[in-house]
Structure 1
Amino acid sequence: MDKDPMEQEMLARGIGDELTEIFVRYVRGELDFAEATFAAYDVLEDLHVIASGDYELEEDGDIEDEYSEEQAIEQQEDLAQEPSRG
């Protein structure tokens, strides 16, 4: 089954973000070189799967139908471990 090119592009951009995060964590000293290399390779394997179209997206059962801006800000603050700057 052919995959939607826009979907694949969106997934590839997400993988680019993951690679960026790995590189940043390495520069900050949060990962050693071996960990960064392994993580980057793992992400590149995901990219290959996306490019080949050999994947299935699954619905996340935790997604709520109604998602308020306040909930989004609170979740981002938790993830960032710092208060919103807005």
Structure 2
Amino acid sequence: MDPENEVAKDPAEQEMLARGIGDELTEIFVRYVRGELDFAEATFAAYDVLEDLHVIASGDYELEEDGDLEDEYTEEGATEQQEDLAQEPARG
């Protein structure tokens, strides 16, 4: 690799993105087991996600701002999100 063309990498950012990709793979696998995707669709989707992983590992990417992001954090919203992820109501 040519050092002049090497892209600066942020290991913390790459780790965060890799964890997100792991979540995407999990969702693909769950959808396949539920019968929401056939094997060919699951294979293609997983390959597509793995290509993204390669780009992240190489550092050859740029993050773009998403105009739909809301910076407002509420305890109610966070609790609701966690309930959805856990698929059960909050305790207490």
Tell me which interval the TM-score lies in, with the shorter structure as reference length: 0.7 to 0.9
- The one of 6, 9, 13 equivalent to 2:12 is 6
* Residue correspondences, number: 84
1:82, CA displacement in angstroms?
Answer: 8.1
| Larger CA Rg, structure 1 vs 2 | 2
- The whole-number CA distance in structure 2 between the counterparts of 1:45 and 1:20 is 16
Q: 1:24 to 1:10 in 2, by over 3 A?
A: same
CA change 1:20–1:59 in 2 (3 A) is same
CA distance in 2, matches of 1:30, 1:14: 21
Give a deviation string over 1:17-50, Cα, whole Å, max 9, x none: 1111111111111100000000000000100110
The structural deviation recorded for 1:69 is 1.9
Over the matched positions of the two proteins, sequence identity in percent amounts to: 93
Q: Alpha carbon RMSD of aligned pairs, Å?
A: 2.4
Range 73-82 or range 18-27, more displaced: 73-82
Structure 2 alignment gaps of length 5 or more: 1-8
Once the two structures are overlaid, the 10-residue window that deviates more, 19-28 or 32-41, is 19-28
TM-score under structure 2 length normalisation:
0.73
